[in-house]
Amino acid sequence: MSALRTVTDELAGVLGPDRVITDRQRLRTYECDGLAQYKVVPGLVVLARDAADVRAAVRACARHRVPFVARGSGTGLSGGALPEAEGVLIVMSQMRDIAQIDAENQRAVVDPGVINLQLTGATSPDGYYFAPDPSSQSVCSIGGNVAENSGGAHCLKYGFTTNHVTGLDLVTPSGETVQIGGKAPDPPGYDLLGTLVGSEGTLGVVTSVTVRLTRLPQEVRTILAGFRSVDDAGAATSAIIAAGVVPAAIEMMDALAIEAAEEAVHCGYPEGAGAVLVVELDGHSADVAGEFDAAVRHCEAAGAFEVRVAADDTERALIWKGRKSAFAAVGRISPDYIVQDGVIPRTALPQVLRQIAELGAERGVRVANVFHAGDGNLHPLVLFDDAEEGAAERAEEVAGGILELCIANGGSITGEHGVGSDKAKYMPRMFTDADLDTMQDVRCAFDPDRISNPGKVFPTPRLCGERPGRRQGAHPLQEAGVAEVF
């Protein structure tokens, strides 16, 4: 009997048959996450109700060395929840209780399957919200946000998921339950929270998340500014930040993205704009008034030919509708597209956008740009028609070339979508062997059998213990001469 079959029988016995999916047709539902270009039908799906279910599944996998993958809402864009054909997919989306809202200490304790926006809905009556706001926030889960360290438009001011998680319950890959952090900041011992958040499921399965709640701002003001060029919009972005203003968000869209959004949702963006900026300011009213004046002034000084201010919530919603629908809208002007995710230093924005345009022109591929300008997090949309011979390959080349540009300009291969299955191959471009080995040493500390979301993040997974010199009793430097060593 195969190891997977043994695990299936054990779990059906312990959890009950309705918690365990083995039907091929139903298994196929889980074959991919938001990045549909990778597909693997899982060997078994477990629908977890609580931490005990998760522990049971992980322990069964550990006993029989069967790989497992945890999945939240399945909205990830890097293939981080891609299943294993001979493994178990642990579906967390039914663990959806908000266990506690502790407004006095600005904390909430939630199940990993709780939807991002659900938590904001539950805490806003007390005057709070959960700040990380990925575009998928109406459907994505907080457990998934933790796995990928998700960001969003307002992360410029409020930080990523990692800045809003103060505690986690973790089932380690050997099935132990560990508490990491808690409600208080700065516990003694190693602070493993940062390592866990964004570890993409490779260090175990999170079964409870303690998050920091953020006060709803007293006032919000939203500006829409039209520029002749992305250079001008980039200059405005730099000037605003350099002036010491920290907007809640600075979003940029280029002409092609504006065209797509306009066709799709008629958001009424300034006509003839080569780029628009959406600048949102929030906080105390007195503060916002001053920052608002500064932001408008810097937009105008950088050459904005139109600066519009949302007069009310309806106008604000329309401005954001254009921005938020941009990805989907691109589907109206192109049959297929790749969403890329990369980061560059904010000061390199104009230069990198020019290089991206040149790269696209060279290969005859159109690229629309929609992105978080404030923190240099690019989301180029590489357009193609799969019906056209070789078009997908050219688009892939351009998408890959964009990441090379990010790296060459001192940036990074992912801003908020994660490495997952998709970008593991680029990791050696950003990290030395020693850097990657150190990460894998940590991975081995948690998961010596590499059964927790294998094949993700690391380009060349190695067996734990195979690192030269890290075996018990053997040290690579012991045999090396002194001259070589220093």
Q: Restricting to residues 140-179, which ones interact with its own copies according to CB under 8 A?
A: 149, 151, 159-160, 162, 172, 174-179
- Closest to its own copies by CB, 3 vs 117, is 3
Enter the tokens of residue 451. 């059964």
Binder among 19, 316, 346, 379 for its own copies (CB under 8 A): 346
Instruction: Determine phi and psi for 131, rounding to 5 degrees.
Output: -70, -40
Instruction: Characterize 79-113 residue by residue with b for buried, 16 or more Cβ atoms within 10 angstroms of its Cβ, and e for exposed.
Output: bbbbbbeebbbbbbbebeebeebeeeebbbbbbbb
Binder among 28, 284, 332, 354 for its own copies (CB under 8 A): 284
| Binding flag, residue 56, its own copies (CB under 8 A) | yes
The answer to whether 256 and 366 have CB atoms below 8 angstroms apart is: yes
| Binding flag, residue 334, its own copies (CB under 8 A) | no
Q: Closest distance between its own copies and the C-beta of residue 264, in Å?
A: 30
Cα gap 426→340, rounded to integer Å: 13
Span of 114-122, 259-267, 299-307, 405-413 interacting with its own copies by CB under 8 A: 405-413
| Binding flag, residue 415, its own copies (CB under 8 A) | yes
The answer to whether 46 and 19 have CB atoms below 8 angstroms apart is: yes
- Closest to its own copies by CB, 118 vs 202, is 202
Phi-psi region at 457: left, alpha or beta (left = phi > 0; alpha = psi -120 to 50) = left
| Binding flag, residue 436, its own copies (CB under 8 A) | yes
| Binding flag, residue 405, its own copies (CB under 8 A) | no
| Binding flag, residue 40, its own copies (CB under 8 A) | no
- Closest to its own copies by CB, 42 vs 151, is 151
Cα 279 off chain centre by:
22
| Binding flag, residue 427, its own copies (CB under 8 A) | yes
| Binding flag, residue 289, its own copies (CB under 8 A) | yes
| Binding flag, residue 187, its own copies (CB under 8 A) | yes
- Closest to its own copies by CB, 314 vs 478, is 478
Name the nearest CA neighbour of 363 among 390, 334, 329. 390
Span of 23-31, 256-264, 267-275, 416-424 interacting with its own copies by CB under 8 A: 416-424
Residues with Cβ < 8 Å from 154, sequence gap 6 or more?
131, 133, 248, 249, 280
| Binding flag, residue 138, its own copies (CB under 8 A) | no
Q: Closest distance between its own copies and the C-beta of residue 7, in Å?
A: 11
Residues 57-96 that bind its own copies (CB under 8 A): 59-60, 62-63
Q: Which residue has the tokens 């065209």?
A: 259
Q: Closest distance between its own copies and the C-beta of residue 481, in Å?
A: 11
Q: Closest distance between its own copies and the C-beta of residue 327, in Å?
A: 21
Binder among 188, 271, 389, 390 for its own copies (CB under 8 A): 188
Binder among 193, 224, 267, 383 for its own copies (CB under 8 A): 193
Site size toward its own copies, by CB under 8 A: 98
| Binding flag, residue 268, its own copies (CB under 8 A) | no
| Binding flag, residue 10, its own copies (CB under 8 A) | yes
Residues 105-124 that bind its own copies (CB under 8 A): 105
Instruction: Determine phi and psi for 469, rounding to 5 degrees.
Output: 90, -10
Span of 205-213, 226-234, 283-291, 378-386 interacting with its own copies by CB under 8 A: 283-291
Residues 227-266 that bind its own copies (CB under 8 A): 242, 244
Binder among 54, 168, 192, 296 for its own copies (CB under 8 A): 192
| Binding flag, residue 357, its own copies (CB under 8 A) | no
| Binding flag, residue 208, its own copies (CB under 8 A) | no
| Binding flag, residue 50, its own copies (CB under 8 A) | no
Binder among 36, 85, 99, 184 for its own copies (CB under 8 A): 184
Residues 439-478 that bind its own copies (CB under 8 A): 439, 441-446, 448-449, 457, 464-465, 469-470, 472, 475-478
- Closest to its own copies by CB, 322 vs 455, is 455
Q: Closest distance between its own copies and the C-beta of residue 341, in Å?
A: 10
Q: Closest distance between its own copies and the C-beta of residue 230, in Å?
A: 20
Kindly report the number of other CB atoms within 10 A of residue 28's CB atom.
12
Binder among 215, 266, 332, 354 for its own copies (CB under 8 A): 215
| Binding flag, residue 1, its own copies (CB under 8 A) | no
Kindly report the number of other CB atoms within 10 A of residue 49's CB atom.
15
CA angle 245, 124, 417 (to 5 degrees): 60
| Binding flag, residue 199, its own copies (CB under 8 A) | yes
Residues with Cβ < 8 Å from 483, sequence gap 6 or more?
none
